[in-house]
Amino acid sequence: MKSFHPPQRTLMGPGPSDVHPRILEAMSRPTIGHLDPAFVAMMDELKSLLQYAFQTENVMTMPVSAPGSAGMECCFVNLVEPGEKVVVCINGVFGGRMKENVERCGAIPVVVEDAWGSAVDPQKVEDALRAHPDARIVAFVHAETSTGACSDVKTLVEIAHRHDCLTIVDAVTALGGIPLYVGEWQIDAIYSGTQKCLSCTPGLSPVSFSERAVAKIRQRERKVQSWFLDLNLVMGYWGGGKRAYHHTAPINALYALHEALLILQEEGLENAWARHRHHHEALKAGLEAMGLSFVVRESERLPQLNAVRIPDGVDDATVRQRLLSDYQLEIGAGLGEMAGKVWRIGLMGHACNARNVLLCLNALDDVLGSLGAPIESGRAVAAARSVLHPGS
């Protein structure tokens, strides 16, 4: 057996996205101790950079030492007590995962369903809360990674608060890619991932909790069922003042996240959001010129996750294998009920640039054309270019 040397891919799936070289370099710096004063100072910077990315002043803002799924679980196990009713909005895979979490907390999910590919319907949430006045929490996904649909967080949080519910928001694919104001929108608990629009390596989950959420966690009747994710303990390490050992932090992964957030701050959040929007418009022009259609209607579409229907008679896996072998390009398969029916093309973080838009369109055009797929060949790149360089 030998050292593993990965092929050099271009990652345009649902994440991980291409990691910025500065981040890979940061990750390889020498490991130091998790209680080293120099490391603790870095943690403080990291928290403040995360507050910027989330647009919040929440004190309880930090990365969970595990991937986004653990960030989701962190929100649920801390905020949900057994026997409580939780309204869970399902419009894709990750809403379904939220329901699993509610059940495993011994709580009662009240499901609000929308079609895969649609946003969460605020009226349905309002109706559910009227029907279940004893519900305590509303949970939903901002950017559904399985479909590419974007829900209206601000409105959903307002409805939840009017019914005296706390809110748990999945922002795994949202953070850094589309407008998100945790403070202004008064989100109570939110989790994200590092490997999407932050262009960082996978493995951490940034989270943030409002004062109301923290108060509920402090007043719990039962201990949090997870020792590892119990925020009452985690904050002994991540909170201010003297740091107490809870678990050994993933030191080098945190170097990487610090660098990723610094890059985001250097660019500016609004600029990053605009960049995602701009390159999405170019990709969209190209895909539509090719004759491919989007799963999500335009008004609810995410720029960073483009789900398109696989043309009739085209084999999903064959195309993705050809893209990988001929172009070193990864795009995503469909998940759950969309498996085999859609591709998910990511334009996230560092991977969201003109070069990748053109690479992807060119590669798709070539592979689909050579397989005899029913597409309009040879038009996509020009259509994208006209968006990227409107004057020329």
Q: Which stretch binds its own copies (CB under 8 A): 122-130, 249-257, 271-279, 382-390?
A: 249-257
Site for its own copies contains 306 (CB under 8 A): no
* Interatomic CA distance for residues 310 and 135, integer angstroms: 40
Does residue number 324 form part of the binding site for its own copies (CB under 8 A)?
yes
Q: Interface with its own copies includes 141 (CB under 8 A)?
A: no
> From the CB of 287, what's the least distance to its own copies, in Å?
21
202 binding its own copies? (CB under 8 A): yes
Selected from 183, 250, 311, 369, the binder of its own copies by CB under 8 A is: 250
The correct pick among 128, 224, 380, 387 for binding its own copies (CB under 8 A) is: 224
**Least CB distance to its own copies at residue 122 (A):** 27
Q: Shortest gap between Cβ of 104 and its own copies (angstroms)?
A: 5
> What is the DSSP code (8-state) at residue 90?
E
What per-residue string of b and e applies to 187-215 under the rule 16 or more CB within 10 Å gives b? bbbbbbbbbbbbbbbbbbbbbbbbeebbe
For residue 20, the minimal CB distance to its own copies (Å) is 10
Angle (CA) 385 391 392, round 5°: 60
| Binding residue for its own copies, selected from 63, 109, 177, 193, defined by CB under 8 A | 193
Q: Which of 188, 259, 300, 365 binds its own copies (CB under 8 A)?
A: 259
246 binds its own copies (CB under 8 A): yes
Looking at 111, 132, 158, 228, which residue binds its own copies (CB under 8 A)? Answer: 228
Query: What is the gyration radius of the CA atoms in the chain, in angstroms?
Result: 21
CA dist list (Å): 200 to 72, 275, 278, 371: 18, 17, 21, 35
CA geometry: angle 88, 142, 344, nearest 5 deg:
110
Question: Cβ(36)–Cβ(243) under 8 Å?
Answer: no
Select from 251, 314, 354, 371 the one that contacts its own copies (CB under 8 A).
251
Q: Does 353 bind its own copies (CB under 8 A)?
A: no
The reply on whether position 226 binds its own copies by CB under 8 A is yes
Q: Which of 60, 150, 283, 335 binds its own copies (CB under 8 A)?
A: 335
Using rule CB under 8 A, residue 8 touches its own copies: yes
Stated length of the chain: 392
Q: Is residue 63 near its own copies by the rule CB under 8 A?
A: no
Please choose, from the candidates 319, 318, 325, 310, the residue with its C-alpha nearest in 3D space to the C-alpha of residue 364.
319
Contact, 320 vs 314, CB < 8 A?
A: no
H-helix or E-strand spanning residue 344: strand 342-346
Question: Which stretch, 6-14, 83-91, 125-133, 174-182, contacts its own copies (CB under 8 A)?
Answer: 6-14
- 3-state DSSP assignment of residue 176: coil
